[in-house]
Amino acid sequence: MPHAGTQGGRSMPALTIEDSVRQAFQIMAVGGRGDAGALAAGLRRDVTGLGLRALAAKLLHVSVCTPERLLDVYDAAAHGWLSGQVYPPSTRNTRDNGPPDAFWRDFWKLLEGAAAERRRVPFTRAAIRLTRLLDKQLDERVAATALDYRGAREAAAKGLLEHLDVRELAHAAPSHLGGLIYREAMLREQQQDCIHPAEWGFDRMPPPLGYLNARILESHVAWAVVGGYSHAELDELALAAFQTAQFGHHYSSVVLALTMATVAIERPAGLEIVLESVFRGWLHGRQTPPLLGVAWRELLDLPLDAVRQALGVVPFASPLAAAVRLSARGAR
């Protein structure tokens, strides 16, 4: 999973966030006011600290307060950022209790912490721990909402878990899906699951939430390879958006909100590419056929192009890759 703790390859220093900034952000995150599409379109024209914090608060709101509105808010924000067009929301705010004090304590601790604590696996673990501090009824609402996503109900009913061990793919043909999953897992240092389902009690979650979490955990690298997402941090962030768009993955949505909040407060140079990655990843997830129910083991011996054609997947047009190519041309 991504983090927002580096700038140009250099570690960012730990933050000190003023109480007034914290309080204002929490009020925005709990209230959930504002049109996400208008906020994103406004940032496209002029990036401001207030606009960034308002959008980050909106994304956190739908992650930890109103998961039923996540699709609507992200769709609006993606349209606003990518096209400048704003559509009226199809859902309305509801009166929800905000996260407890323990959540906010750990939220700000994470944002103020050392950049090393915001690297992929520690950052994902921190996001999971944050969700454990929320009202238990939120899990039930996230689970119910997940069933509204394309293909999620069917995949959950099938209950497919393949327990892929990438070490078994070490001798697979390099151009075939199995070989590419192995290579990507090595690059990501994911020879084995970094987060174990049993460790986090997925089996005790309301269905189908535990299944969905276990399923994406075991097939995360396959999604990355087939979707065209590299192990670069911005592409990992885009992949989190892709997963959220595919089935409302709660942990990914928390990671996105945390990252956006960090960007809003740190204001790193070139932050526009972060928003571009998030919303292009989201749009890609919305446009791609559902992948939850794919039996990856049956496809391991096929060339990647054949897998993509069979599944109807167009690889991700990475803003990071485009920026690198443009920079390389300019250096010639």
Residue 309 is part of which domain span? 6-331
Specify if 150 maps to a domain: yes
Instruction: Classify 168 as helix, strand or coil.
Output: helix
Helix (H) or strand (E) holding 10: strand 10-11
Specify if 93 maps to a domain: yes
Query: What pLDDT shows up at residue 7?
Result: 43
Residue 306 Cα distances to 186, 252, 312, 313, 314, angstroms: 23, 28, 10, 10, 12
Query: What pLDDT shows up at residue 322?
Result: 81
Specify if 13 maps to a domain: yes
CA distance 253 to 241: 7
Specify if 1 maps to a domain: no
Query: What pLDDT shows up at residue 11?
Result: 45
Query: What pLDDT shows up at residue 91?
Result: 72
CA distance 148 to 167: 35
Query: What pLDDT shows up at residue 95?
Result: 64
Question: Number of folded domains in the chain?
Answer: 1
Specify if 263 maps to a domain: yes
Specify if 175 maps to a domain: yes
Specify if 66 maps to a domain: yes
Q: Dihedral sign, CA of 305, 309, 313, 318?
A: positive
- Those residues of the chain that have pLDDT short of 70 are 1-15, 93-95, 114-120, 190-198, 325-332
